[in-house]
Structure 1
Amino acid sequence: MKLLTATNVSQGLRGNDFALCVEGELVHIGVVCPRDDGDPDGGCGCARSFAGLNSHRATTTAMVREVPGFTEDDYVLAIRSSLEQQGCDPSFAEHEAALLRCLVRDWPVGVVVERRLHEIVVRQVVQP
């Protein structure tokens, strides 16, 4: 299954990059706080980052990776668990998993993406 994961690849391409997640950790797209609303280069960083499902930290780069043996049910469970751990409503986990699967389905394994507010754009293609 192709999934979006944290990566350090291409970190530093932008001056305000950061990588606080665990390399390879599953990530999702978190909410944008009022401080960064409308500005992907705002001081918080949430409008340009992905959130780690396990570490609950953030990174400005994510890579599409093939995760062998990982099922759709596993993905929903991982997202649900992460949301619960953070005190968020886990009822959207299935919907979020479906959206993330759709996001990566047409990208090849090895694509590095970045977030610019509500857009996820390709930053680099790495050969797996």
Structure 2
Amino acid sequence: MKLLIATTELQGQASDDFMRAIPGELVVDVGPCEDATASDDWSCACARSFVGLTSGRMTTTAKVVDHLDIDAREYIETVRDAFGTWCCPDCATEIALISRRIAGQWDTGQILERYCSVVRARLPHLAG
């Protein structure tokens, strides 16, 4: 099953990149906060980050991996446990399903970034 993990790969390509998550931890896309979407002010860090399930911290890059030692049910439970009282179990399940869907659209090893409501491949800059 393809999932997303925090990665330092291709970090630093954008001037506002950050990595506060733990490299290698599972991350999810919780989407931008209500402040960003309501005001159309996309400068909030949540507008371009993924959230680590272990640390609860954000990163601007995620890597698609084939995570063989967890099944879909265990993954949903992991996300639910990570978010605890931060959101309801139904919302945590939806976050898990969305994040799995995102990972499933890309090849294993692809580095992703999120900007506003779009998740896209981050391509390495070619040295000239």
Range of TM-score over shorter length: 0.7 to 0.9
Q: TM-score, normalised by structure 1?
A: 0.85
Q: 2 CA distance for matches of 1:109 and 1:24?
A: 14
Matched residue SS, 2:64:
strand
Q: TM-score, normalised by structure 2?
A: 0.85
In structure 1, the residue matched to 2:95 is 96
Which aligned pairs between 1:29-108 and structure 2 lie closer than 5 A?
Answer: 29-37=29-37, 38-40=40-42, 42=43, 44-84=44-84, 86-108=85-107
Matched residue SS, 1:36:
helix
Matched residue SS, 1:15:
coil
Higher relative contact order (CA 8 A, sep 6+): 2
The one-letter code matched in structure 2 to 1:69 is D
In structure 2, the residue matched to 1:14 is 14
Number of residue pairs aligned between Structure 1 and Structure 2: 122
Matched residue SS, 1:3:
strand
| Conserved 8 A contact 2:29-2:98 | no
User: Which has the larger displacement, 103-112 or 114-123?
Assistant: 103-112
Please list every run of 5 or more consecutive structure 2 residues that lacks an aligned counterpart in the other structure: none
* 1:112 shift after superposition: 0.4
* 1:31 shift after superposition: 4.2
Bigger proportion of residues as helix: 2
Matched residue SS, 1:103:
helix
Q: 2 CA distance for matches of 1:32 and 1:100?
A: 14
Q: CA RMSD in A?
A: 1.8
Please list every run of 5 or more consecutive structure 1 residues that lacks an aligned counterpart in the other structure: none
Identity %: 35
